[in-house]
Amino acid sequence: MNTIAVLGSANMDLVVRQARLPRPGETIFGAGFSTVPGGKGLNQAVAAARLGADVTFLGAVGADAYGTELRALLVSAGIRSTELATADAPTGTAHISVVDSGENSIVVVSGANATVTTLSVEQRAVVADSAFLVMQCELPTRVLAEGIALARAAGVFTVLTPAPVVPLPPGFLASVDLVVPNRGEAAELTGESEPVRAAEVLSAGGRWAIVTLGSEGSVVAFDGEALGLAPARPVTAVDTTAAGDTFVGALVTRLAVGYVRGTAVTPDQMIEAVRYATVASSIAVTRAGATTSMPTRGEVDAILA
């Protein structure tokens, strides 16, 4: 198994379950409340580790109770976090409303994540020694650009989840090997409302793009051409909070099996990885929470057997 470096956010998710979203100015009752470790970076790292990947996490938390809990989770998940910084800022939080249909709305307060503006010497060494660098847009784009440049120079395969959609420097997306947005993010990045066309635009220039469509599956494209629609696995969703992050963590985990660093990923490899990730994310949405919903390798393998 090749090493995966995740450069990303670590938050404590503050989750309220409710029948519906309130109207402006309205107060409603919720059905339940929980605190769950999250953040897109930490979620993807845990998803990959739970499926057997060799993962190192790079980011920052605060010197507070939430930061202590997130560090403990990384250790228990078998994720190396020696280069996880302690910032002079509170640990990031995500305020999540989950309605009865399983859909969610999220407001993120970046906290310590916003302090990650450059990589330390030790963090740069981790990136350069990895086979994959996995990123999201919950850290400042400056440090993401630094990570991408370092990875490209070292022959490291780069993966970006462009969420949330933020202003990106010219050429930023063109420097990424694989971009994995959802339908809305792909449309916002490309101006194309049709997911297949958006995937083709994002993949132009010799890159991979996978546009996730929830219960409709995902579109896979390479070098400006859509390879097809990967169908979803039908399930009854309880909470979709971690669906996308589980998909990415599982996708990279599968790509890392037998991957030769510095070589191109083949269509067969990518399609097999998408199939694996589809099953993993389908399991996650049947459970509540982010990291608490992510499946083990045994659970995914049992469905694929």
The predicted pLDDT at position 278 comes to 97
Percentage of the chain exceeding pLDDT 70? 100
Query: Mean pLDDT across the stretch 182-204?
Result: 97
In a domain, 220, yes or no: no
Catalytic residues: 245
Query: Mean pLDDT across the stretch 233-237?
Result: 93
In a domain, 107, yes or no: no
pLDDT range class, residue 214, cuts 50, 70, 90: very high
In the sheet that 92-99 helps form, which strands lie side by side, from edge to edge?
32-38, 11-18, 92-99, 104-109
pLDDT tens digit string along 23-67?
Answer: 999 999 999 999 989 899 999 999 999 999 999 999 999 999 999
Put simply, whether the predicted model's pTM sits higher than 0.75 gets the answer yes
Is 112 within any annotated ligand binding site?
no
In a domain, 98, yes or no: no
Residue 80 belongs to a domain with what CATH number? 3.40.1190.20
- Residue 262's domain comprises 3-10+39-90+113-176+233-304
In a domain, 65, yes or no: yes
Is 2 within any annotated ligand binding site?
no
pLDDT range class, residue 1, cuts 50, 70, 90: low
In a domain, 248, yes or no: yes
**Cα-only R_g, the chain:** 18
- Number of domains within the chain: 1
Is 11 within any annotated ligand binding site?
yes
Is 41 within any annotated ligand binding site?
yes
pLDDT tens digit string along 130-161?
Answer: 999 999 999 999 999 999 999 999 999 999 99
